[in-house]
Amino acid sequence: MTTSKTKDLQKRALAAVRDYGVHLTQFRNAMSEWAGLNAADMECLRLLSATGTSTPTAIARQTGLTSGATTAMLDRLEKASLIERRPNPDDRRGTLIVAAPSATEKMASWFESARRAQSALISSYSDRELEIIADVFERFAVLWEQERQKVQRSE
C-alpha cells in the first residue's frame, strides 16, 4: 500500500473512532433525557447491568462523583425503584447496590432497538473482520484507560 493511501486510511480510521465516540455520547445523552435520568444515573445503571452488584465506593469511582453526590444519586435511583440497597455480607457496615428486577427489564426494553441494530451490523462481518474489530476496540479501551489514569495522576 502506498504511503499516501496508508496515511489517508489512518486519518479515516481515527475520524471514525472520534465520530463513534461523539455519536455514542449523543445517544447516551438522548437516552438519559428520554428516561428522565442524568448521565451519572445512567452510568450507574449501566455499571450495575454489567456487574450485577457494586458498592457505593465503586460506583463513585466509575461515575466520577463525590461520595455525597453518589449518595444523592443512589437515593434518587432507589426512590424511582431502579436500584436496591442490600447489606454487604462481607462488611456489616457496608452496602451493596443492585439493579431492581423491574429496572433490569425496563432498561432492556429501552435499549432493545439499539441491541437489534448492533446485532444486525456485527453479524454482517466475517470471523476475520470480527477479530480485527474486537482487537481495535479492546486496544482502544486499554488506551483510554491509560490516558484517564495519566490525567488523574496529574491532578
| 44, 80: one domain | yes
The parent domain of residue 84 ranges over 38-100
All three cell numbers of 77, joined, read 435511583
Query: Which candidate, 36, 40, 84, places its Cα nearest to that of 64?
Result: 40
| 42, 94: one domain | yes
All three cell numbers of 133, joined, read 474489530
8-44: pLDDT as tens digits:
999 999 999 999 999 998 998 898 888 888 889 988 9
Q: Is there a domain that residue 111 lies in?
A: no
Alpha carbon 128 to its chain centroid, in Å, reads 26
64 in the Ramachandran plot: left (φ > 0), alpha (ψ -120 to 50) or beta?
left
Q: Is there a domain that residue 61 lies in?
A: yes
Q: How confident is residue 57, by pLDDT bands cut at 50, 70 and 90? A: very high
89-126: pLDDT as tens digits:
988 888 999 999 888 788 888 889 999 999 999 999 99
Dist. CA 84–CA 96, nearest whole Å? 8
Q: Please give the tally of structural domains in the chain.
A: 2
Q: Is there a domain that residue 27 lies in?
A: yes
User: Strand 53-54 to strand 83-88: parallel, antiparallel, or no bridges (unpaired)?
Assistant: unpaired
DSSP state of 96: E
Q: What is the pLDDT of residue 122?
A: 97
Q: What is the model's pTM?
A: 0.74
Pure H helices in the chain: 3-35, 39-51, 56-63, 67-79, 101-110, 112-122, 127-153
Q: What is the pLDDT of residue 102?
A: 81
Q: What is the CATH number of the domain that holds 80?
A: 1.10.10.10
